[in-house]
Structure 1
Amino acid sequence: MELSEPLAVVTATHWIPEYRQKPADLEPSRRPADPGYTALAVSESCSGPELAVLAGRVALTAAGWDGADVGLLLYAWSHYQGHDFWSPAHFVAAGVGANSALPLGIQQMCNGGAAAVQAAATFLRGDPRCRRALVGTGDRFAEPGFHRWTGDYGVAYGDAGTAVLLSTEPDARPRLWLHAIATVAAPQLEAMTRGDDPAAPAPRWLRGAVDVRTTKKAFLRTLPRNRYAEIERAKLTEVITTALADAGLTGDDPRLARVILPRFHADALDSGYRPLVAELTPADTVDFGRDTGHLGAGDLAAGLADLLDQHLLAPGEYALVLSAGVGFSWSCAVVSRPVPTERGGDST
């Protein structure tokens, strides 16, 4: 998505539980052979939407916003939200005091946060009456319904809520500028998390826990060897080059300083993402996920938050923030840190 002018990212925050579960904490029979992470963030009580409310409140306070002034609230998630027949987006809106906002749920699995940012940008640029948006995510991968370490291949799952505040107000004080966000999809891979299972009448009807490994095995048996890797490589190349072009950049632009990777297993990053990124840009790759795990729909927003918290961009420098999710879809956001002379830019 090429923006006619940059969009203000007023702030980005995450609420990640303090408790970290390490492989050594697991029963020997349940420890993964190759963990890929030092620890996973585990919420011992809060649901995904509750984590999102906590992150949203922090973001609003940091920005000096009142929830009542938020016109749009987009909320994304990838796993069970705590109730069977319910709108978590409305819960999050009420929880942050955004009772005049339009709450919309975005179900794009683990790429949901990126899809929500892209949708919010479309709303903000398309409706002059909507000037402030909150994009939130929340996921909790709790036992017994989800085995966070061993329920999937290529990723282990941590819990978190995130919030990104976007604005088109002339006096907005952005901590980042959003220059472009691109998304590409490969719907032919949708059966990766369906396998050959029949449609069930209720959640977890066929199995007591989510079992992505079984569905992936079933689906991959139908593909030629290495076909998935070929598709992923082509789509990642497309989404990164498209986002760069939409932002008016090239991969060798000296202002491009960082590439924030999704919080996937170390092997998945080392074998796929890092080599490809290195072909497209010399910018440094950054992996924030080793002691949190993959945060469901929250990887892109959490990447923005850590990019800010760790002061990884100098004024005028750019970063790419990557996200992906089953379905499949891949996203790439292009952001920069404002320079002191830019309108309302954050110089901290």
Structure 2
Amino acid sequence: MQWNDLYVGGVAARLGRREDVREAVADGRYDAEEHEENDYLFVRVEDELTPADMAVEAAREALGRGAVGEGGVGLYLHAASTFQGLDHWTPGSYIQQHTAGGTAPALEVRQACNGAIMALEMAAAYLTAVPGRGAALITTGDRYNAPSYDRYRTDKNILLADGATALVLSREPGVLRLLSTATVGDTSHEALGRGTGGWQGASGDAGWPISLRDRKKEYLIGGGDIQDIIRTMTVRQQEAMQTALDDAGVKVADVARFVFPNIGRSAQDWELRKAAGISEEQTTWAWGREVGHIAAGDQFAGLAHLLESGALRTGDRVAVAGVGSGYNFGWAVLEVAGEPDWSTTAV
């Protein structure tokens, strides 16, 4: 979708402490061969705060960085995949209560690692359709702590990291102008993330930690076609990218920087990106390998990093990509409207 007169006023990340992955290799928590293949340097680990509390910190920073407008925050969206700190609870309302408050609705977006882009698209549609709503506050927050997860072994080619992000989308002029968003769904291989082991009566019935590796193995052993999985994911991601670029009226060559999910080097499709004219230097991989995969937060954290580090100039276009299990493929294209004087505040 093409968007008009919508801006990112502020974006911020609150990340866990840096843990050197070489230490995990040395003490046997991380496979040495996988470390070599995936090329991560650090992974972020949060020892105390819940995902919702991290999201509150990121949201306060984002709100302080950009104007909200007379209508105030008219919508709160929180995207997450993991336990948020309490069963049977609404973290979106908690984040609202501890940030800008007000009487706007708050809700959660459950689209796994594409949640932030889906929330961005929903927020843009809401602000466009509902007059008088000044801004939307979008947050993400996940923490992959034991016993539920083993950040080094739960999944393959991905190190699971702890962190939260926030972005303020507003009608008030801001640092980035939202040009377009696009999300494409394809459930052909939904079971890749579900496996064939059947349902559980309650969370944890299958034992801890969660093993996404085992679920993928179950699906493949049960007849999942790896070549069709690769083909489907490639085609759908390209479709979403091209739709977003076309709606924004730009080509790949017009985009200065790309923010891809912080998956390991061996899982990044470098050849496809090279064929599209995207160099590694245009991506945020050099930063991402020092962070790990913070689920839906990779996109907003990547944007915050580019703006805080002074890597963007007025007029630059930035494209961000997400992939959520199930599967959903999202892209957003933005243009730098001004260069902020932001210091790096993420831990």
- Answer yes or no: is 1:296 the counterpart of 2:299: no
Larger displacement relative to structure 2 (108-117 or 22-31): 22-31
The aligned residue for residue 49 of structure 1 is: 52
CA contact (8 A) 1:79 1:296 kept: no
Deviation at 1:211, TM superposition (A): 0.8
**Partners in 1 of 2:299 and 2:70 — Cα distance?**
23
The aligned residue for residue 125 of structure 2 is: 122
**Partners in 2 of 1:225 and 1:119 — Cα distance?**
32
**Which of 40, 45, 64 matches 2:43?**
40
Instruction: State percent identity of aligned pairs.
Output: 29
CA contact (8 A) 1:182 1:333 kept: yes
Deviation at 1:106, TM superposition (A): 0.4
CA contact (8 A) 2:307 2:340 kept: no
Deviations 1:26-49 (A, max 9, x none): 663322231221111000011111
- Answer yes or no: is 1:249 the counterpart of 2:245: no
The aligned residue for residue 235 of structure 1 is: 236
Deviation at 1:277, TM superposition (A): 2.2
Larger displacement relative to structure 2 (96-105 or 242-251): 96-105
CA contact (8 A) 1:67 1:99 kept: no
Counterpart mapping for 1:52-67 below 5 A:
52-63=55-66
CA contact (8 A) 2:69 2:135 kept: no
CA contact (8 A) 2:67 2:174 kept: no
**Partners in 2 of 1:124 and 1:68 — Cα distance?**
11
Structure 1 residue ranges without an equivalent (≥5): 339-344
Note closer, same or farther for the CA distance 1:90–1:310 as it changes in structure 2 (3 Å cut). Answer: same
Note closer, same or farther for the CA distance 1:282–1:45 as it changes in structure 2 (3 Å cut). Answer: closer
Deviations 1:187-210 (A, max 9, x none): 122111210121112111112221
Tell me the C-alpha RMSD between the 2 structures: 1.9
The aligned residue for residue 215 of structure 2 is: 215
CA contact (8 A) 1:69 1:100 kept: no
**Partners in 2 of 1:61 and 1:261 — Cα distance?**
26
Instruction: Name the amino acid aligned to 1:132.
Output: A
**Partners in 1 of 2:7 and 2:218 — Cα distance?**
44
Deviation at 1:101, TM superposition (A): 2.3
Structure 2 residue ranges without an equivalent (≥5): 342-347
Partner secondary structure for residue 174 of structure 1: coil
- Answer yes or no: is 1:110 the counterpart of 2:109: no
Deviation at 1:282, TM superposition (A): 4.3
Instruction: Name the amino acid aligned to 1:87.
Output: T
CA contact (8 A) 1:72 1:102 kept: yes
**Partners in 2 of 1:335 and 1:124 — Cα distance?**
17
Larger displacement relative to structure 2 (134-143 or 220-229): 220-229
The aligned residue for residue 277 of structure 1 is: 273
The aligned residue for residue 286 of structure 1 is: 284
Counterpart mapping for 1:1-348 below 5 A:
1-3=1-3, 5-25=4-24, 28-33=27-32, 34-35=34-35, 36=38, 37-63=40-66, 69-168=72-171, 172-221=172-221, 222-253=223-254, 256-269=255-268, 272=269, 274-282=270-278, 284-287=282-285, 288-338=287-337, 345-346=338-339
Instruction: Name the amino acid aligned to 1:122.
Output: A
**Partners in 1 of 2:217 and 2:170 — Cα distance?**
43
How many residues in Structure 1 have an aligned counterpart in Structure 2? 333
**Partners in 1 of 2:232 and 2:321 — Cα distance?**
16
Partner secondary structure for residue 101 of structure 1: coil
Deviation at 1:119, TM superposition (A): 0.7
**Partners in 2 of 1:198 and 1:82 — Cα distance?**
26
**Partners in 1 of 2:195 and 2:64 — Cα distance?**
44
Deviation at 1:132, TM superposition (A): 0.8
**Partners in 1 of 2:71 and 2:335 — Cα distance?**
28
Larger displacement relative to structure 2 (16-25 or 38-47): 16-25
Instruction: Name the amino acid aligned to 2:271.
Output: P
CA contact (8 A) 2:15 2:164 kept: yes
